Amino acid sequence: MQLKRRRHRFALNMARLGSLLLALLCMAALPAPGFAQAAPAASEAPNPWVALTRGDLDAAYALVRDNHPGATPELGDDAFRKRLEDSYQLGLSQVGQVKDIDGYGAVLRGFAARLGDKHLSFVPLYLDQIYPTPGFIVAKRGAEWRVVDEFRSTGDQPLLGARLISCDGEDVEALAKRRLGGMRANWDLEAEQIEAAPWLLVDDNAFAPRPKACAFQTDKGRVERALKWENARWDSFLPKMGQAVKVGHPGFGLRQVGQGWWISIEQLDPRAKAVVAEVEAHAAELRRARLVVLDLRGNSGGDSQYGDAIARALYGSSAVESIYTGQSRSNCGEAWRASAANLAAIEDLSTRTGQFSGPTIAYLRKAAEEMKTAMAKGQAFTRSVACKQGDTPAAPPRTAPAAGLFKGRMVVLTDHVCFSSCLLLVEEFLRLGAVQAGEGTDAGTRYMEVRAYRLPSRLARFSTLQKVALDAPYAVGPYAPAWSWNGDISDTKALEAWIATKAAGN
Tell me the residue type at 251: G
Single out the residue of 246, 265, 301 nearest to residue 413, CA to CA: 265
Per-position DSSP letters for 151-187, written without gaps between them: -S--SSS--TTPEEEEETTEEHHHHHHHHHBTTTB-T
| Residue 29 pLDDT | 34
Contact 161, 147 (CB under 8 A): yes
Q: Does domain 130-244 have CATH number 2.60.120.1310?
A: no
Distance CA 264, CA 416 (A): 16
| Residue 37 pLDDT | 41
Contact 438, 422 (CB under 8 A): no
The rounded average pLDDT for each run of 10 residues, N- to C-terminus, in the chain (506 residues) is: 38 30 32 38 70 98 98 95 98 96 95 94 92 95 92 84 97 96 91 95 92 96 95 93 94 95 96 97 96 97 92 95 64 89 95 85 94 97 78 45 82 95 94 95 92 97 95 88 92 97 90
| Residue 128 pLDDT | 83
Single out the residue of 241, 205, 230 nearest to residue 132, CA to CA: 230
| Residue 303 pLDDT | 87
Contact 74, 384 (CB under 8 A): no
Distance CA 259, CA 315 (A): 19
Contact 492, 250 (CB under 8 A): yes
Distance CA 306, CA 227 (A): 49
Bridging pattern class, strands 460-469 and 122-124: antiparallel
| Residue 402 pLDDT | 60
| Residue 356 pLDDT | 80
Q: CA torsion angle for 421, 423, 424, 426 (degrees, to 10)? A: 130
| Residue 147 pLDDT | 96
Per-position DSSP letters for 359-402, written without gaps between them: HHHHHHHHHHHHHHHHHHTT-SBSS---SPPP---SS---PPPP
Please give the sequence-ordered ranges of beta strands (E in DSSP) within 34-135, or none if there are none.
122-124, 130-133
Single out the residue of 356, 280, 324 nearest to residue 424, CA to CA: 324
Q: What are the residue ranges spanned by the domains of the chain?
A: 130-244, 338-376
| H or E element at residue 291 | strand 291-295
Contact 299, 422 (CB under 8 A): yes
Q: Is the peptide bond before 69 cis (omega within 30 degrees of 0)?
A: no
| Residue 401 pLDDT | 61
| Residue 260 pLDDT | 95
Q: What is the pTM of this model?
A: 0.81
Q: Which letter, b or e, does each residue of 32-41 get, where b requires 16 or more Cβ atoms within 10 Å of its Cβ? A: beeeeeeeee
Distance CA 124, CA 21 (A): 14
